[in-house]
């Protein structure tokens, strides 16, 4: 897939993308910059990958910074936000993208593994969303918060109990945030990717049996690329989506239409 052409007017925007150094997060960060936003790229461990994304954004003429930190830790989140806002300005677009996935039979999931998935895929979105929303409210910013969930928020899947539960919780969190933050002019929505070729899924997709099983349940018979998710995020971040809040957009080739 070549350079995406989707564009919305985000000039003057200040965005933070968690897990922005790779795969879907990387695509979103670059897309926001392409539309005119300055972007803080949060990462946890891969400084080199984050630096590459920042370099690409600055080549586009936008401000960018790599911001290291653990989005499951409240103290770390405040530092992430301080560093991000120092580099690109007060955040008015938050994309909660950081996440993990591990395939484990229900009977074998340990408490530590359960906590790891729930903390990363659900708690972090609550903590970061609350922290950013508080700053938006205090500054009178009518911002956008976009949570990256999954079709697993709606469809159960084998070996994915903790992941599905976390993403289902994120869907309700999105709706609750939308309802409670509406009075402050903050729109909160979620994007639910289906099977996308990312660092977390490529091993699964390379197994031909897995690939064919999933394709048989996707009406469009397509496995997505990270860029396929970007357009929905750009729309939700834009003024064109001013009446959209509490919504769930499914980017899944029709998987959830069955």
The pLDDT, as a whole number, for residue 72 is 98
Axis crossing angle, helix 47-59 with helix 23-34, rounded to the nearest 10:
20
The pLDDT, as a whole number, for residue 200 is 85
- Express each pLDDT in 84-133 by its tens digit: 999 999 999 999 999 999 999 999 999 999 999 999 999 999 999 999 99
Average confidence (pLDDT) over 48-55: 98
Kindly report the backbone phi and psi dihedral angles of residue 159, in degrees, each rounded to the nearest multiple of 5, phi listed first: 70, 10
Average confidence (pLDDT) over 45-60: 97
186 closest CA partner among 138, 235, 245: 245
pLDDT band at 4 (very low <50, low <70, confident <90, very high): low
163 is catalytic: yes
**Residue 1 pLDDT greater than 60, yes or no:** no
pLDDT band at 148 (very low <50, low <70, confident <90, very high): very high
- Express each pLDDT in 199-253 by its tens digit: 889 889 999 999 999 999 999 999 999 999 999 999 999 999 999 999 999 999 9
Stated pTM of the model: 0.95
The distance from CA 73 to its chain's CA centroid, rounded to whole angstroms, is 18
**Residue 6 pLDDT greater than 80, yes or no:** no
The token duo for 164 is 């599905």
Residue boundaries of the structural domains of the chain: 14-197+226-249
The pLDDT, as a whole number, for residue 61 is 95
Dihedral angle over CA of 109, 174, 49, 228, nearest 10: 100
Average confidence (pLDDT) over 14-37: 97
Q: Where are the beta strands (DSSP E) in 44-134?
A: 64-68, 93-96
Average confidence score pLDDT of the chain: 96
CB 136 within 8 A of CB 82: no
Q: Which CATH architecture has domain 14-197+226-249?
A: 3-Layer(aba) Sandwich (3.40)
Kindly report the backbone phi and psi dihedral angles of residue 42, in degrees, each rounded to the nearest multiple of 5, phi listed first: -80, 140
The pLDDT, as a whole number, for residue 3 is 60
Which of the following is catalytic: 8, 43, 163, 250? 163
The pLDDT, as a whole number, for residue 258 is 83
């Amino acid at each position: 897939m070549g350079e995406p052409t989707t564009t919305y007017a985000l000039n003057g925007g200040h965005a933070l993308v968690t897990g922005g150094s790779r795969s879907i997060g990387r695509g979103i960060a670059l897309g926001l910059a392409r539309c005119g936003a300055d972007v803080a790229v949060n990462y946890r461990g891969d400084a080199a990958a984050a630096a590459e994304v920042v370099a690409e954004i600055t080549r586009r003429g936008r401000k960018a910074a790599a911001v290291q930190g653990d989005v499951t830790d409240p103290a770390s989140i405040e530092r992430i936000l301080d560093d991000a806002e120092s580099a690109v300005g007060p955040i008015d677009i938050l994309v909660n993208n950081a996440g993990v996935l591990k395939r484990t039979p229900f009977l074998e999931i340990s408490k530590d593994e359960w906590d790891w998935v729930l903390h990363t895929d659900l708690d972090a979105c609550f903590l970061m969303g609350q922290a950013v929303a508080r700053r938006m409210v205090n500054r009178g910013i009518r911002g956008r918060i976009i949570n990256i969930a999954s079709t697993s928020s709606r469809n159960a899947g084998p070996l994915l109990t903790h992941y599905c539960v976390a993403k289902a919780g994120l869907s309700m969190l999105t709706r609750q945030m939308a309802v409670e933050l509406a009075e402050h002019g903050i729109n909160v929505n979620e994007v639910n990717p289906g099977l996308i070729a990312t660092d977390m899924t490529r091993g699964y997709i390379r197994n031909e049996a897995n690939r064919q099983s999933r394709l048989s349940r996707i009406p469009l018979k397509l496995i997505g690329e990270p860029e396929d998710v970007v357009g929905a995020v750009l729309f939700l971040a834009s003024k064109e989506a001013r009446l959209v809040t509490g919504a769930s957009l499914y980017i899944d080739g029709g998987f959830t239409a069955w």
